[in-house]
Amino acid sequence: MKPPYEISAKILTLVNSISESLGEIKGVQLTLPPLELRKLNRIRSVWSSCGIEGNTLTLDQVTAILSGRPVVGPKKDITEVVNAIKVYDGLSGFDAFSVKSFLKAHGILMEGLMEKPGHFRNEQVGVFDGTRVVHLAPPAVRVLGLMGDLFDYLKKDDDIILIKSCVFHYETEFIHPFMDGNGRMGRLWQTAILMRGYPVFEFLPFENLIRQRQKEYYDVLAACGQAGQSTLFIEFMLDILDKSLEEMLDFNGRVVTDSARLEYFTSTGHTTFTRKDYMDVFKTISSATASRDLRKGVEANLFERDGDKNKTVYRMV
């Protein structure tokens, strides 16, 4: 059964804007961002997603944990961050279309934080605002079937992955399949789904913008619950993704460095190549810039050089 939502004019506009940004990112070779940017974005994702759920650790403390340095803080908060780092680091190894993978990720994310992590709930749960119930989740006996339907939708529906990732995020919040960790799993799994179509999303910390708009995030979830469909949430999350991609493209006058280009090129699978091959990957740089890059690559022992002038061939070390 397909989850209820409508494709609005705003959704179509945002999908078009996101598609343009993704094309531009591909053009400037940010599909795999430079190592330092990937590390910074991973820290922001973990800090933001945990912080939305009330984690008190600062960005500096999360950075320290990621770097293996000791941190003083509440044991529960430290465990949450350690688990989140572990599961985000393993994102590429999960199958976004698999219930089994989904449960495995929850087991890692919530280890030491609840009983039986990695298992669907067998009790009734509700979402509270103080003492007021703002959402009563479906009965526990329906969870397995509802999640099965949701994964069937994810695998079989014809809508684009951008929309399906938002729908999955919302429905995970609505079904509330776990006793705890549902919000973190919704955000994590949206990233896992998006990565299937666009690798750049592995290192896009859209959770940071959700944290900045946290009240709106919860208000939209509540409004969708009352409306009985996720259209408003799809619009909200596509706007979050759109603005996150804009941030990634906003270099503030900076340019992609030679080190970033070399790091990216070594991941493209070339074993033997020429300067022309290098420039075919980086179409906006001059031949002089390409030569300087390649000379630096040889000096850094990334590859070896054989021949001279136009007959020069490079081989990966």
Block residue for tokens 């996101």: 18
pTM of the model: 0.79
* Residue 252 pLDDT grade (very low, low, confident, very high; cuts 50, 70, 90): very low
Q: Which residue has the higher pLDDT, 63 or 30?
A: 63
Q: Are 248 and 25 in contact (CB under 8 A)?
A: yes
> How does pLDDT run across 85-96, given as a tens digit for each residue?
999 999 999 999
Which residue segments constitute the domains of the chain, with CATH numbers given? Answer: 9-249 (1.10.3290.10), 258-316 (1.10.10)
CA 124 to chain centre: 30
Tell me what pLDDT residue 179 has.
94
> How does pLDDT run across 190-237, given as a tens digit for each residue?
999 999 989 889 888 999 999 999 999 999 999 999 999 999 999 999
Q: Which residue has the higher pLDDT, 295 or 133?
A: 295
Tell me what pLDDT residue 254 has.
44
Tell me what pLDDT residue 249 has.
75
> How does pLDDT run across 94-140, given as a tens digit for each residue?
999 999 999 999 999 999 999 999 999 999 887 766 666 666 789 99
> How does pLDDT run across 255-283, given as a tens digit for each residue?
467 777 787 788 667 889 999 988 887 77
Tell me what pLDDT residue 23 has.
85
What rounded mean pLDDT belongs to the chain?
Answer: 89
* Residue 285 pLDDT grade (very low, low, confident, very high; cuts 50, 70, 90): confident
Tell me what pLDDT residue 253 has.
39
Tell me what pLDDT residue 280 has.
81
User: Picking from 25-29, 87-91, 110-114, 285-289, which range would have the lowest pLDDT averaged per residue?
Assistant: 25-29
